[in-house]
Amino acid sequence: MVAAYLSWVRAQASQLRSSTAQFVAAVTTGDLARAKQLYAPARTYWKRNEPVAGTYRELARRLDGQAVELGGDDTWWGWHRLEKALWTTRSLADTAPVADALLADTDDLVARLATVSLTSDQVTESALEQLASLATHALVGEEETYSHTDLWDAQAEVDGAKKAYDLVATMVEDRDPFLAKRIELGFAAVQLALDRHRTVVGFEPYSDLTPAQVRELAVGLAALSESLSRFTVSVGS
């Protein structure tokens, strides 16, 4: 189980490096439209890996920190500094150093993930960590403040949680078939709620969702999180 999860984590990291390089190239050449197009898809690979990548706290803060966490523009680097430039400032002037640092930090992360080790408990806990992050950031519109691409993040975090669960699903089915079915239905319900907001190129902006649509996602997530909390107990017992 651990080996399979680590293999998946490293595959996501490789794709993160490739997609980030394309995004950075668009930023450094001043191609605003192309950079906006690449932003959310590239971050998908970061969000899928966030429970593991986030253990490198300082590196994760540089890559994914918000201005309020990092003391303002003078000390703020990473994805969200560029997000602001793309959607609010609408200018890539003077952002090349930020883009270069983003790629360098991504290379650092990929190298660390190549040698990271995990326990089976850490793998199972990853599913809950993904959903906790989803509940506290993506589903309240606090992650992608300028681009409103929060539903891209939400899908990536559901993907990550589902991957961690799938690796132990057979074990849960053997121990508690009813719980396994609840989790399966919970993932399906959350996925269905997300799919309602798909577009040809990805997802609707979070800012376009009505309060009722946000509640639908939140209720499905809460039910899934409750079932998954039982799943961690089932696996550990």
| Residue-by-residue pLDDT tens, the chain, 237 positions | 789 989 999 999 999 999 999 999 999 999 999 999 999 999 999 999 988 888 898 999 999 988 776 665 666 889 999 999 999 999 999 999 999 999 999 999 999 999 998 887 777 777 677 777 666 666 777 789 999 999 999 999 899 889 988 888 888 899 899 999 999 999 999 999 999 999 999 999 999 999 999 999 988 888 888 888 876 655 554
Final residue of a domain: which of 88, 113, 138? 113
Separation CA 76–CA 175 (nearest Å): 47
User: Which one-letter amino acid corresponds to residue 137?
Assistant: H
Residues 17 and 106 in one domain: yes
144: CB partners within 8 A, 6+ apart: 40, 83, 138, 150, 152, 153, 206
Q: What is the number of domains present in the chain?
A: 2
Containing structural domain, residue 44: 2-113
Residues 199 and 108 in one domain: no
Residues 128 and 229 in one domain: yes
Separation CA 136–CA 139 (nearest Å): 7
